Amino acid sequence: MAPPSDRNGCARRRVLLLPLPYQGHINPMLRLAAALHARGLAVTIVHTETRAPDRRNLPAGYELVVVPDGIPPELAASNDIPSFVFALNRNCEAPFRDILTGRRALREGEEAAGEGEAGRVVACVVADVDWFAPLAAARELGVPALALMTSSAARFRVYLAYPRLCEKGYLPVQESNLDTPVDELPPLLVRDLHVAMDTARHATYADLLDRIVAGVRQSSGLILNTFDAIERADVEHIRRETSTPVFPVGPLHALSPAAAAPVQQSSVLPEDRSCLEWLNTQLPGSVLFVSFGSLVSIDADEFLEVAWGLAGSNRPFLWVVRPRLVRGRDSVELPGELLEETRGRGKIVGWAPQEEVLSHPAVSAFVTHGGWNSTLESMSRGVPMVCKPCGGDQLGTTRYVCDVWKVGIRVEVEDKLTREGIKAAIERLMDSKEGGVIRDRMREMCDVVSKCTTKGGCSDLALQNLVDFINLS
C-alpha cells in the first residue's frame, strides 16, 4: 500500500503514538493523534491488547497496531498502577522494537516491512511518559521520540522533584507532616503529593518516577496537556530543568473536536446516552453532574454519604456510577429511602458522554474527583467544580483549582467524608457570594481556554511548533 499523501501528492510523515491503556491517558493521546492528523501527519496508534480500541470504529486515516502485552486481567483491573506500568514496559518493549525495526507490520494484513525498513518511514514516536522502555528503544534505534505527560505541568514537577523531596525528608509522607508546605513546590502541601505511606510501596513508586523522568530527559521533547495561561511558570520550570523542548498544547480535547478522534470508540465502558435526553427535560443551569472518573474506588459508606449529600442539596443530579466505583462491587443500588427522597431529580448512569454532558445548558456544576482531564473539560465549558479528590494527581490539581485558579470549591473532609461536607460544598458554590465569584471566574476561564486553542492562541502555536519539530526531525 502506498503511504498516505497530502494534497500535493507528497507522502505524509508518520507518527507512532503509544497511549498508556487507562481511559484518562488514552483520551488525550487520541486527541493529540487527531490534532497531528489534521495538520498533515499520518498517525498510527500502537495499543496494548489491554483495552485496545475497536479498529472498525477508527476514523479514516488512522492506523492501529495492537501489540501483545501478556498482562493478566486481574492486574489490568487492579488499582496497582506501578506494577501494571512496570509489567507493560517489560512485556511490550520487544514487540515495539519489532515495529521500529520492521519485523512487525505497521498495518493490519500487511507483510512486515523487513529489517531496517519501518524505522525509515516512522518520523517520530510519541509515547506516554509512563512508557519509558519504548521511549528508550526508539532513541536507541535512532527514531526521534517525544513523551506526552497527560496530567498537569505541576504534577510533572512533582516527578522531577521527587528525589529531592525524599532527601529533604518530606517523603515518605508521615501523619505528622501532612500539612507542611512543600517549599520547592508552592502551593502544594505534603498531603497533596499523594504518595504511599508504607516504605515498600514508596520505594516502588520512587523507582517508577525515576525511570519516567530519565526517559523524558533523554527524549527529543516533552508534550504537555496544559496551557500557558494557567501553568506558564510550571512549564518554564520544566523547560529549564529538563533542557528539552517543551510543547504545552492543551487542553487537547479542545484543540481537536471529539468527532475527529476515536475517543468514544475507545471508551472502556459503553456510554449511556439516555442521560442527554434526561438533561433535555431539566431547567437550564439546574443539574449537578457527578463523576469520579474511570479509576477511583470509594468505600460503600462514602458512596452513601455522597448520595445523601446530593439528596440534601435539593438539586437535580446526574451521577456516573460505573462498575467498581464502590470498592470491590460490580454494581451498587441506592437504598429505597434515598430513591424515594430523590425521585424525579436523580439520574444514575454507568458511563456518560462526559464532554457532551458538560456542554449541556442544564448542567450547573461538576462534582468531581479532580482528574486532570475532567478539570480541563470543565474549564473549557465554564462549569464550576466541587472537588472531592481521591488520590494521585487529583489532590494537587484540587489545590490549584480551589486556591490558585479559584474556579472550584473543595469538599472539606475532617476524619471522613460526610453528607454534610458534600452538601455544604455544593451550597457554598451555588448559593453563596463567594460561590458567585467562583462561578464568574470559571466563565472567564472558559474564554481563556477558547482564546488559547483558537488560531494564533498559545496552544495552537505550541501545536504548530510541535508539528514543525516533527516534520524537521
Q: Could you tell me which residues are beta bridge partners of residue 66?
A: 47
| Vertex 426 angle, CA 420 and 432, to 5° | 110
Residue 17's nearest CA partner among 214, 186, 241, 262 is 262
Binds ligand UDX (CB under 6 A): choice among 30, 296, 407, 449: 296
Decide: is 266 part of the binding site for ligand UDX (CB under 6 A). no
- Give, as ranges, the residues between 5 and 24 that touch ligand UDX (CB under 6 A): 22-24
Decide: is 53 part of the binding site for ligand UDX (CB under 6 A). no
Using the structure block, give the residue that is written with the C-alpha cell 510519541.
Answer: 126
Name the residue nearer to ligand UDX (CB basis): 132 or 351. 351
Q: 382 — alpha (psi -120 to 50), left (phi > 0) or beta?
A: left
Binds ligand UDX (CB under 6 A): choice among 374, 380, 398, 459: 374
- Give, as ranges, the residues between 316 and 345 that touch ligand UDX (CB under 6 A): 320
| Beta strand residue intervals within 37-188, DSSP E | 42-48, 62-67, 122-128, 145-149
For residues 408 and 400, the answer to whether their CB atoms sit within 8 Å is: no
- Identify whether 25 is a catalytic site residue: yes
Q: Which stretch binds ligand UDX (CB under 6 A): 68-76, 115-123, 288-296, 412-420?
A: 288-296
Distance CA 432, CA 461 (A): 39
Kindly tell me the number of DSSP H helices and DSSP E strands found in the chain.
18, 13
Decide: is 380 part of the binding site for ligand UDX (CB under 6 A). no
CB of 398 vs ligand UDX, minimal distance in Å: 10
CB of 277 vs ligand UDX, minimal distance in Å: 16
Distance CA 403, CA 397 (A): 10
Binds ligand UDX (CB under 6 A): choice among 12, 13, 14, 25: 25
Give me the torsion for CA of 304, 192, 324, 267, rounded to 10°: 120
Name the residue nearer to ligand UDX (CB basis): 308 or 372. 372
Helix (H) or strand (E) holding 140: helix 132-140
Decide: is 220 part of the binding site for ligand UDX (CB under 6 A). no
Distance CA 241, CA 239 (A): 6
CB of 356 vs ligand UDX, minimal distance in Å: 9
- Identify whether 210 is a catalytic site residue: no
Instruction: Give me the 385-424 binding string for ligand UDX, x by CB under 6 A, dash otherwise.
Output: -------xxx------------------------------
Residues known to be catalytic: 25, 128
Residues found near ligand UDX in the complex (CB under 6 A)? 22-25, 27, 150-151, 291, 293-296, 320, 351-352, 354-355, 371-374, 377, 392-394
